[in-house]
Amino acid sequence: MRTHRIATLLAGVTLLALTGCTSDPEADTAPTPVATTPSAAPTGTTPSDTAGLPPEPTGEKRVIYLATLNGIDPEIVNGKEDKAISRGRDQCAAMKDERDPGKRVAQVERRFIGPNHPGGFGPTKSALILATVQANICPTY
């Protein structure tokens, strides 16, 4: 039964990730400004935005990210949405140079903790969290 639930959850995460990949064709044609130096950063960005962290998910991506984390275990977000997003962005930065999937899952297990899970949520949930982070915050990592 547990395997069935995990498979269903993974299928849901994949579906949400694929749904989030669709875009408006007109939006794809607009040029995207690129900051080349911290002084050229667009107004409203923080220094961490130019220091290798991906941008925060907004709109539908934010809703999907948080809903998927809550679907894995409500204690992951635990009412602290900004903290869950910050942890996801930090995970993206940490795994940018780490290609070993096992080490990436271990990073998630150390990073995403909760009051009843001070040692993390275990390898299965951590793998689901990792998939959620990658799909919604840093899909190119």
Tell me the pLDDT tens digit for each residue of 38-79.
Answer: 333 333 334 344 467 999 999 999 999 999 999 999 999 999
Helices 59-72/122-136 angle, 10° precision? 170
Cα 46 → chain centroid: 19
Question: What does pLDDT average to over the chain?
Answer: 76
Question: Given a cut of 80, is residue 16 above it in pLDDT?
Answer: no
Scored b (16 or more CB within 10 A) or e, 26-35 reads eeeeeeeeee
